Amino acid sequence: MNNYMTWLKGLLSAGIGGAATAVSTMIVAPETFNLNEGLSKLISVASVSAIVAVANYLKASPLPS
């Protein structure tokens, strides 16, 4: 059971870390990715980044046996 909890925590942290990439995107291009007009674009960047980070985590740490 402990292996699954550790694995799930790693998976969750990978998703959160990937979504946090949106913060750096806001710093690089604030005129496009902001909380007012560019919220949908910002959510898209956060989602894609989180998916890529989770996929990389799953590649490195598949489901424990």
Say whether pLDDT at 1 is over 80: no
Is residue 6 in some structural domain? no
pTM of the model: 0.83
Is residue 5 in some structural domain? no
Question: Which domain covers residue 37, as residue numbers?
Answer: 14-60
Segment 40-60, tens digit of pLDDT: 998 999 999 999 999 999 999
Is residue 8 in some structural domain? no
Q: Which of 24, 19, 64, 23 is nearest to 46 (CA)?
A: 19
Is residue 45 in some structural domain? yes
Domains of the chain: total: 1
Three-state DSSP at 13 gives: helix
**Residue 62 burial by CB count (10 A; 0-12/13-18/19+): exposed, middle or buried?**
exposed
Is residue 40 in some structural domain? yes
The whole-number pLDDT of residue 15 equals 92
Q: What's the CA gap between 8 and 21, in Å, rounded?
A: 20
The pLDDT confidence band at residue 28, using thresholds 50, 70 and 90, is very high
Is residue 1 in some structural domain? no
In the chain, pLDDT over 70 holds for what percent of residues? Answer: 98
